[in-house]
Homo-oligomer: A and B are copies of this chain.
Amino acid sequence: MTRQTSQARDRGIPEATVARLPVYLRALNGLAERGIATVSSEDLAASAGVNSAKLRKDLSHLGSYGTRGVGYDVDYLIYQISRELGLTQDWAVAIVGVGNLGRALANYGGFASRGFRIASLLDADPEVVGDRIAGLTVEHIDKLESVIRERDVSIVVIATPATSAQEVCERVTRAGITSILNFAPVVLTVPDGVDVRKVDLSIELQILAFHEQRKAVGAAGGPGGSAQVGPGIGPGAGNEWAEAVEA
Protein backbone atom coordinates (compact mmCIF):
# COMPACT_ATOMS: atom_id res chain seq x y z
CA MET A 1 0.00 0.00 0.00
CA THR A 2 2.95 2.26 0.31
CA ARG A 3 3.03 4.14 -2.88
CA GLN A 4 6.00 4.86 -4.97
CA THR A 5 5.86 6.74 -8.16
CA SER A 6 7.95 7.03 -11.21
CA GLN A 7 9.75 9.79 -9.43
CA ALA A 8 11.52 9.02 -6.23
CA ARG A 9 9.65 11.79 -4.49
CA ASP A 10 6.70 11.02 -2.28
CA ARG A 11 3.64 12.32 -4.01
CA GLY A 12 1.56 12.56 -0.88
CA ILE A 13 0.90 16.26 -0.75
CA PRO A 14 -1.19 17.25 2.29
CA GLU A 15 -4.70 18.35 1.50
CA ALA A 16 -4.19 21.63 3.30
CA THR A 17 -1.25 22.35 1.04
CA VAL A 18 -3.18 21.50 -2.11
CA ALA A 19 -5.86 23.96 -1.08
CA ARG A 20 -3.29 26.73 -0.86
CA LEU A 21 -1.41 26.08 -4.08
CA PRO A 22 -3.98 27.92 -6.20
CA VAL A 23 -3.60 30.92 -3.92
CA TYR A 24 0.14 30.93 -4.39
CA LEU A 25 -0.36 30.56 -8.09
CA ARG A 26 -2.54 33.62 -8.22
CA ALA A 27 -0.05 35.63 -6.21
CA LEU A 28 2.77 34.50 -8.46
CA ASN A 29 0.86 35.46 -11.58
CA GLY A 30 0.39 38.90 -10.12
CA LEU A 31 4.12 39.19 -9.52
CA ALA A 32 4.92 37.95 -13.01
CA GLU A 33 2.64 40.56 -14.52
CA ARG A 34 4.52 43.21 -12.66
CA GLY A 35 7.74 41.93 -14.13
CA ILE A 36 9.13 40.51 -10.90
CA ALA A 37 11.47 37.62 -11.65
CA THR A 38 12.44 36.44 -8.18
CA VAL A 39 10.61 36.43 -4.88
CA SER A 40 11.44 35.44 -1.30
CA SER A 41 9.20 33.21 0.76
CA GLU A 42 8.54 36.19 2.98
CA ASP A 43 7.24 38.36 0.15
CA LEU A 44 5.31 35.64 -1.60
CA ALA A 45 3.72 34.63 1.67
CA ALA A 46 2.62 38.20 2.24
CA SER A 47 1.04 38.36 -1.22
CA ALA A 48 -0.79 35.14 -0.58
CA GLY A 49 -1.89 35.99 2.92
CA VAL A 50 -0.09 33.21 4.82
CA ASN A 51 3.04 33.12 6.92
CA SER A 52 6.36 32.32 5.36
CA ALA A 53 7.12 29.14 7.28
CA LYS A 54 3.90 27.64 6.05
CA LEU A 55 4.65 28.68 2.51
CA ARG A 56 8.10 27.15 2.60
CA LYS A 57 6.77 23.94 4.08
CA ASP A 58 4.08 23.79 1.42
CA LEU A 59 6.50 24.32 -1.42
CA SER A 60 8.90 21.80 0.04
CA HIS A 61 6.30 19.14 -0.67
CA LEU A 62 6.65 19.82 -4.37
CA GLY A 63 10.43 19.72 -4.38
CA SER A 64 13.34 22.06 -3.86
CA TYR A 65 12.55 24.80 -6.26
CA GLY A 66 14.07 27.71 -4.39
CA THR A 67 17.59 29.01 -4.06
CA ARG A 68 18.96 29.64 -0.58
CA GLY A 69 19.96 33.18 -0.03
CA VAL A 70 17.93 34.26 -3.04
CA GLY A 71 14.35 33.05 -3.20
CA TYR A 72 12.16 31.49 -5.86
CA ASP A 73 12.18 32.08 -9.59
CA VAL A 74 8.66 33.30 -10.30
CA ASP A 75 8.15 31.75 -13.72
CA TYR A 76 9.65 28.46 -12.74
CA LEU A 77 7.51 28.22 -9.65
CA ILE A 78 4.39 29.07 -11.64
CA TYR A 79 5.22 26.23 -13.96
CA GLN A 80 5.87 23.74 -11.18
CA ILE A 81 2.70 24.54 -9.28
CA SER A 82 0.61 24.52 -12.44
CA ARG A 83 1.97 21.15 -13.34
CA GLU A 84 1.33 19.80 -9.86
CA LEU A 85 -2.26 20.99 -9.96
CA GLY A 86 -2.78 19.56 -13.40
CA LEU A 87 -3.43 22.94 -14.97
CA THR A 88 -1.10 22.33 -17.86
CA GLN A 89 -3.78 20.18 -19.38
CA ASP A 90 -7.19 21.07 -20.67
CA TRP A 91 -10.22 20.23 -18.51
CA ALA A 92 -13.67 20.10 -20.02
CA VAL A 93 -16.33 21.32 -17.59
CA ALA A 94 -20.10 21.07 -17.89
CA ILE A 95 -22.37 23.39 -15.94
CA VAL A 96 -25.78 22.00 -15.05
CA GLY A 97 -28.39 24.55 -14.11
CA VAL A 98 -28.42 27.88 -15.86
CA GLY A 99 -30.11 30.14 -13.35
CA ASN A 100 -28.54 33.29 -12.02
CA LEU A 101 -25.62 31.44 -10.58
CA GLY A 102 -25.05 29.24 -13.61
CA ARG A 103 -24.94 32.34 -15.77
CA ALA A 104 -22.49 34.03 -13.47
CA LEU A 105 -20.28 30.98 -13.62
CA ALA A 106 -20.52 30.74 -17.39
CA ASN A 107 -19.42 34.34 -17.70
CA TYR A 108 -16.61 34.02 -15.21
CA GLY A 109 -13.36 34.76 -16.96
CA GLY A 110 -11.13 32.94 -14.52
CA PHE A 111 -11.67 29.52 -16.05
CA ALA A 112 -10.12 29.56 -19.46
CA SER A 113 -6.93 31.10 -18.17
CA ARG A 114 -6.44 28.12 -15.88
CA GLY A 115 -7.08 25.31 -18.29
CA PHE A 116 -10.81 24.96 -17.66
CA ARG A 117 -12.99 24.98 -20.74
CA ILE A 118 -16.74 25.12 -20.46
CA ALA A 119 -17.89 22.38 -22.76
CA SER A 120 -21.60 22.69 -22.16
CA LEU A 121 -24.36 24.50 -20.31
CA LEU A 122 -27.41 22.37 -19.57
CA ASP A 123 -30.82 23.07 -18.09
CA ALA A 124 -34.17 21.37 -17.79
CA ASP A 125 -36.27 24.48 -18.40
CA PRO A 126 -37.47 24.77 -22.05
CA GLU A 127 -37.55 28.53 -21.55
CA VAL A 128 -33.82 28.57 -21.02
CA VAL A 129 -32.72 25.88 -23.47
CA GLY A 130 -31.51 27.53 -26.65
CA ASP A 131 -30.39 30.74 -24.97
CA ARG A 132 -26.93 31.85 -25.89
CA ILE A 133 -24.72 32.55 -22.90
CA ALA A 134 -21.02 33.26 -22.96
CA GLY A 135 -20.79 32.00 -26.51
CA LEU A 136 -22.56 28.72 -25.80
CA THR A 137 -26.07 27.57 -26.54
CA VAL A 138 -27.86 26.12 -23.53
CA GLU A 139 -28.66 22.46 -24.12
CA HIS A 140 -31.42 20.30 -22.73
CA ILE A 141 -30.58 18.18 -19.72
CA ASP A 142 -31.58 15.11 -21.73
CA LYS A 143 -28.26 15.40 -23.46
CA LEU A 144 -26.30 15.24 -20.24
CA GLU A 145 -24.86 11.77 -20.72
CA SER A 146 -24.06 12.18 -24.38
CA VAL A 147 -22.38 15.53 -23.78
CA ILE A 148 -20.22 14.06 -21.06
CA ARG A 149 -19.24 11.15 -23.25
CA GLU A 150 -18.70 12.94 -26.52
CA ARG A 151 -16.95 16.03 -25.20
CA ASP A 152 -14.80 14.24 -22.69
CA VAL A 153 -16.15 16.17 -19.74
CA SER A 154 -14.30 15.38 -16.53
CA ILE A 155 -15.71 17.92 -14.08
CA VAL A 156 -19.36 18.80 -13.58
CA VAL A 157 -20.60 21.92 -11.82
CA ILE A 158 -24.04 21.56 -10.27
CA ALA A 159 -25.86 24.88 -10.03
CA THR A 160 -29.40 23.56 -9.97
CA PRO A 161 -32.01 24.01 -7.27
CA ALA A 162 -31.53 21.74 -4.27
CA THR A 163 -34.34 19.46 -5.36
CA SER A 164 -32.65 18.39 -8.59
CA ALA A 165 -29.07 18.19 -7.40
CA GLN A 166 -29.00 14.60 -6.17
CA GLU A 167 -30.60 13.32 -9.34
CA VAL A 168 -28.13 15.19 -11.52
CA CYS A 169 -25.36 13.89 -9.31
CA GLU A 170 -26.45 10.31 -9.81
CA ARG A 171 -26.72 10.70 -13.55
CA VAL A 172 -23.27 12.17 -13.92
CA THR A 173 -21.57 9.68 -11.63
CA ARG A 174 -23.25 6.89 -13.56
CA ALA A 175 -21.83 8.50 -16.67
CA GLY A 176 -18.37 8.18 -15.16
CA ILE A 177 -17.80 11.62 -13.64
CA THR A 178 -15.67 11.56 -10.48
CA SER A 179 -15.25 15.28 -9.80
CA ILE A 180 -18.20 17.46 -8.87
CA LEU A 181 -18.42 21.04 -7.70
CA ASN A 182 -21.75 21.49 -5.95
CA PHE A 183 -23.47 24.82 -5.42
CA ALA A 184 -26.82 23.40 -4.48
CA PRO A 185 -27.61 23.67 -0.78
CA VAL A 186 -27.77 19.94 -0.17
CA VAL A 187 -25.40 17.18 0.86
CA LEU A 188 -24.81 14.93 -2.11
CA THR A 189 -24.49 11.19 -1.68
CA VAL A 190 -21.88 9.75 -4.00
CA PRO A 191 -20.11 6.43 -4.52
CA ASP A 192 -16.62 5.93 -3.15
CA GLY A 193 -13.97 7.47 -5.30
CA VAL A 194 -16.07 10.44 -6.33
CA ASP A 195 -14.77 13.78 -5.17
CA VAL A 196 -17.34 16.42 -4.27
CA ARG A 197 -16.54 19.94 -3.23
CA LYS A 198 -19.28 22.17 -1.98
CA VAL A 199 -19.63 25.91 -2.10
CA ASP A 200 -22.47 27.22 -0.03
CA LEU A 201 -23.01 30.93 0.16
CA SER A 202 -25.34 30.89 3.08
CA ILE A 203 -22.95 28.75 5.11
CA GLU A 204 -20.20 31.29 4.66
CA LEU A 205 -22.51 34.03 5.83
CA GLN A 206 -23.54 32.00 8.84
CA ILE A 207 -19.94 31.52 9.86
CA LEU A 208 -19.38 35.25 9.60
CA ALA A 209 -22.48 35.88 11.66
CA PHE A 210 -21.17 33.58 14.37
CA HIS A 211 -17.97 35.55 14.68
CA GLU A 212 -19.71 38.87 14.39
CA GLN A 213 -21.98 37.91 17.24
CA ARG A 214 -19.04 36.70 19.27
CA LYS A 215 -17.31 40.04 18.90
CA ALA A 216 -20.33 41.92 20.16
CA VAL A 217 -20.87 39.62 23.11
CA GLY A 218 -17.23 39.39 24.05
CA ALA A 219 -16.84 43.13 24.25
CA ALA A 220 -19.38 43.34 27.01
CA GLY A 221 -18.73 39.96 28.45
CA GLY A 222 -17.56 39.12 31.89
CA PRO A 223 -14.14 38.03 33.07
CA GLY A 224 -14.64 34.38 32.37
CA GLY A 225 -14.95 34.87 28.69
CA SER A 226 -11.33 35.22 27.81
CA ALA A 227 -10.65 34.01 24.39
CA GLN A 228 -8.86 30.90 23.41
CA VAL A 229 -6.29 32.93 21.66
CA GLY A 230 -2.93 33.61 23.08
CA PRO A 231 -2.34 33.60 26.76
CA GLY A 232 -0.63 36.88 26.15
CA ILE A 233 -3.36 39.42 26.57
CA GLY A 234 -4.35 39.83 30.14
CA PRO A 235 -7.72 40.85 31.40
CA GLY A 236 -8.81 44.38 31.02
CA ALA A 237 -6.92 45.08 27.87
CA GLY A 238 -8.49 44.62 24.51
CA ASN A 239 -11.06 41.93 24.73
CA GLU A 240 -11.66 41.42 21.08
CA TRP A 241 -9.80 38.47 19.85
CA ALA A 242 -8.49 39.50 16.56
CA GLU A 243 -8.97 36.96 13.97
CA ALA A 244 -8.17 38.13 10.55
CA VAL A 245 -8.54 35.11 8.42
CA GLU A 246 -6.17 36.56 5.93
CA ALA A 247 -3.22 38.63 6.74
A interface residues with partner B (beta carbon < 8 Å): 1-5, 9, 11-12, 15-16, 18-23, 25-27, 47-49, 84-87, 89, 91, 93, 99-101, 103-105, 107-111, 114-116, 154-155, 178-182, 185-215, 217-218, 222-231, 233-237, 239-247
CA distance A229 to B185 in the complex (A): 18
Q: Is the CB of B18 within 8 A of A245?
A: no
With contact pairs A108-B245, A155-B208 given, residues A192 and B227 touching in the complex (Cβ less than 8 Å): yes
CA distance A225 to B10 in the complex (A): 8
Residue of B nearest to A190 (CB): B244
Q: Is the CB of B210 within 8 A of A18?
A: yes
Apart from A115-B209, A199-B199, what are 6 other A-B pairs with CB-CB below 8 Å?
A: A18-B210, A19-B207, A22-B200, A99-B104, A101-B108, A197-B230
Distance between A41 CB and nearest chain B CB, rounded to angstroms: 16
The interface residues of chain B lying within 8 Å CB-to-CB of A26 are 185-187
* Selected A-B contacts with CB under 8 Å, 19 pairs: A1-B223, A86-B209, A93-B205, A108-B201, A154-B212, A155-B208, A155-B209, A155-B212, A178-B212, A179-B212, A180-B208, A181-B201, A181-B208, A189-B247, A192-B225, A195-B243, A195-B245, A197-B230, A197-B231
Q: Is the CB of A22 within 8 A of B196?
A: no
The interface residues of chain B lying within 8 Å CB-to-CB of A194 are 229, 244
Q: Is the CB of A228 within 8 A of B193?
A: yes
The interface residues of chain B lying within 8 Å CB-to-CB of A103 are 100, 104
The interface residues of chain B lying within 8 Å CB-to-CB of A244 are 104-105, 108, 110, 190-196
The interface residues of chain B lying within 8 Å CB-to-CB of A240 are 19-20, 23, 193
The interface residues of chain B lying within 8 Å CB-to-CB of A1 are 223, 231
Residue of B nearest to A116 (CB): B205
Q: Is the CB of B104 within 8 A of A202?
A: no
